[in-house]
Amino acid sequence: MYLIPIKYHGLNYPKGIHPKIIEVAGHFDTVPLKDRKISKNIKISLHTEYSAKDRHMKSIRSSVLKTSLRKWWGKQVPDLWANIQWTKDFANFILDLVKEYEEQIEIIEIHPPIPRKYNWNTFIINYQTFYSIVKQKLLNAQILIENRNGFLLSGVCDFQILSSIIDKSKIDLGLIIDFPQLLNYEKAKDCENKLNSVMQQINNFKHNVKAFHLWGQVGRRSHAGDINDYFNNDEILINNFYSNLANIFLNKNQKYYFIPEINSGNENKTKNQCLYNIVQQLKNTGFKFI
Ligand SMILES: [Zn+2]
């Protein structure tokens, strides 16, 4: 029932909420943390490559990494978890990126591969290799995987499958639910019954959920506005969403990371106002921020 706020880009939380963790970009076009003047007094959630855009990889210094990570599935869009060598180089890329900040890394957010040539078994083998390299240096880091539309982890059924694998094989991997992406994928944002059904299925794997992503959508513009914008100001859907969230997560005395991925506001709301609205709605629902 507790939410651990994560500072996202330039967003400011309302008074009284002081995030102790900051989200830091860690995709293939980023430079090492030590070249970015990131504070030494804050914990870090590293958001790794998410395979949505062309990458130029100019800042990857080692020529070895440059070669093996250059596997594309789109024009120049990285093909995540392409093979074991890719996986090893991905792990080493991350260690290189966070050098001198190792102790501050609290979360590493990873993303699933595209499903074309992968199944969960292949992914898990790759993941275990990645884990064993990364955890040698990043002792405090939890590794969490986020859903991506059209990728291996997209819908509630995919979450259910991965959660069962985590339980059976006892791999150390937590789940992040990006709610807007999940509800878009399930076509549940316009339909009360579908919304209820998707949300209720989360109960089956909530024990592996460690974090939420929330943001709004304005027309086709993603990561814009608040939850009211996401549901086109439909009070029934908005209330349904929050009451389901409370039913799933409030009865557990557990902590979840909260990442408001709001990149822009809407008409007469700034992005900070959108964050205030979401925080207020979560508080009204019964969540407490720590
Ligand atoms: Zn997200």
Domain with 193 in it: what CATH number? 3.20.20
The pLDDT of residue 116 is 75
Sign of CA dihedral 269, 274, 276, 278: positive
Model pLDDT, residue 70: 85
Domain that holds residue 25: 2-289
**Structure tokens belonging to residue 17:** 């909420």
Q: What mean pLDDT is reported for the chain?
A: 94
Distance (Å, rounded) from C-alpha 106 to C-alpha 67? 29
Rounded to the nearest angstrom, the distance between the alpha carbon of 146 and the centre of ligand 1 is: 7
Angle at 235 between CA 234 and CA 238, to 5 degrees: 90
- Residue 243 DSSP label: H
User: 35 C-alpha vs ligand 1 centroid, how far in Å?
Assistant: 25
Q: How far is the CA of 21 from the centre of ligand 1 (A)?
A: 16
* Range 17-36 average pLDDT: 95
Query: Of 40-54, 108-122, 129-143, 198-212, which range is least confident?
Result: 108-122
Domain count, the chain: 1
How far is ligand 1, taken at its centre, from the CA of residue 248, in Å? 20
For the segment 130-152, what is each residue's pLDDT rounded down to a tens digit? Answer: 999 999 999 999 999 999 999 99
Per-residue pLDDT for 228 more than 90? yes
The 10 Å Cβ neighbour count of residue 10 is 8
CA of 178 to the centre of ligand 1 (A): 5
Backbone φ/ψ region at 73: left (φ over 0), alpha (ψ -120 to 50), beta:
alpha
CA of 118 to the centre of ligand 1 (A): 22
Rounded distance from Cα 63 to ligand 1 centre (Å): 30
pTM of the model: 0.95
Residues 244, 228, 220, 47, CA torsion sign: negative
Ligand 1 center–CA 212 separation, angstroms = 8
- Residue 269 confidence (pLDDT): 95
